[in-house]
Amino acid sequence: MLVVKVVSPLSSRESFTVLGEDDVPVAPVERYLKYLTDIERSPNTIKAYAHDLKDWFTFLGGRGLDWQSVSLEDIGAFVVWLRLPTALRQGGIAVLPSVEHHCGESTVNRKLSALAAFYLHAVRDGIDVGELLTTWQIGGSRGGWKPFLHHISKHMPSPRRTVSLKAPKKLPRVLTPGEVQTLLDACDRLRDRFLLALLYDAGMRIGEALGLRHSDIAAAERQVTVCRRDNDNRARAKSLTARIVPVSAELIRLYADYLHAEYGDLDSDYVFVNLWGRPHGHPLTYGAVYDLVRRLRRRTAIDFDPHWLRHTAATRMLRDGIGLEVVAKLLGHANVTVTAATYGHLNVEDARKAMEQAGWFIGKAQVKL
């Protein structure tokens, strides 16, 4: 099976599909991926779902199973299959316990979540799939997750995924102030410096930055508006709703320097454009940014990713005492739970600093140790 990119001739919207051994799209997968495209999920998200479902249908094909008639035991076998090295997935070869797993716990859990969403969509589409991947519980009145159309199906069983692996929580990588300064100083061009500074100062996603227009930057008010729109470079803002992010005066000055020294009289709405290569004046692409990242990695020996600057900004806000709800709004998270789960981390020094500020170690002991 093969995952291929497709582009709608009507909207030029990019999506993905999965081709079977006969080079024809796998119908149930195609139906689900089209649904994700219609609700405007990002191309990267659709691509990830396509690869996850390709693995599932490859597994089913190798065992002669019908996607509508599998059991929970088959899901367990799929987990084992995912963990095998690719060359050993055909079976017939014993695998020693010391052989490293091909898919880690987090990857396996992501694929299972994709399957759960795929089957839930099929059920809502009226397709009989039995009780695949789910147990069925009558929805109660005490909170918790409720399915779509819950208001017209309160007494129907609600599906919940039951197969998962225990995965260690990965804390986001945070750069030190010294590392951020080193990366900024290693930039040869003001455009590149401004791009990294924007990610660090505003906590923006790289797709949001690449889609910025000059009209989104209010220099006098020192604020940047982030909104979702179709971009020529396929950059994409993840948040459905627009948000306004306050930024520093230093960032606005860097923006002005960039416009004066490098941007000049170029006629483009986009803030980040190709100024030295071809096609000249076109909006900067993800590929160009990762070329920059690779150059900076070689120069600085800092093995970073653009998203780390967003992680660093969020962590800095929290450490400086900005409330979780405010940080969630600035980052464009749908709710505070996402922010708390991703960025609400403290290391030992954070905890010590908070306790010292509260006077925990100074003169407040009620018990002599």
The whole-number pLDDT of residue 343 equals 65
CA 235 to chain centre: 14
- For the question of residue 364 being annotated catalytic, the response is no
Q: Report the pLDDT averaged over residues 345-356.
A: 61
310 is catalytic: yes
Catalytic residue among 150, 253, 307, 352: 307
Query: Rounded to an integer, what distance in angstroms lies between the CA atom of residue 45 and that of residue 41?
Result: 6
Q: Which of 205, 228, 234, 311 is catalytic?
A: 205
The Cα 144–Cα 158 span in angstroms is 11
pLDDT tens figures, 281-339: 899 998 999 999 999 999 999 999 999 999 899 888 888 888 888 888 888 887 777 77
Domains of the chain by range and CATH? 2-136+156-161 (no CATH), 177-319 (1.10.443.10)
Question: What pLDDT score was predicted for residue 184?
Answer: 95
Give the tens place of pLDDT for each residue, 160-215. Answer: 545 555 556 666 688 999 999 999 999 999 999 999 999 999 999 999 999 999 99
Spatial neighbors of 111 by CB under 8 A, at least 6 apart, are 52, 55, 56, 82, 103
Buried b (16+ CB within 10 A) or exposed e, 320-333: eeeebeebbebbbb
pLDDT score of 168: 60
pLDDT per residue as tens digits for the range 83-113:
887 766 665 544 444 445 567 777 888 888 8
Distance between CA atoms of residues 331 and 221, nearest Å: 19
Q: Among the ranges 9-13, 90-94, 138-142, 230-234, which has the highest mean pLDDT value?
A: 230-234
Which of 189, 238, 297, 319 does the annotation list as catalytic? 238
pLDDT attached to residue 262: 93
Q: Which of the given ranges, 35-44, 120-129, 219-228, has the highest pLDDT on average?
A: 219-228
Tens of pLDDT, residues 216-269: 999 999 999 999 888 888 877 777 788 999 999 999 999 999 999 999 888 899
Of residues 83, 228, 234, 333, which has the active-site annotation? 333
For residue 218, give the H/E element and its range.
Answer: strand 217-218
Active site residue 307: yes
For the ranges 25-34, 36-45, 139-148, 320-329, the maximum mean pLDDT occurs at 25-34
The average pLDDT across 106-125 equals 84
Find the catalytic residue in 54, 193, 310, 316: 310
What pLDDT sits at residue 297? 95
pLDDT at residue number 300: 95
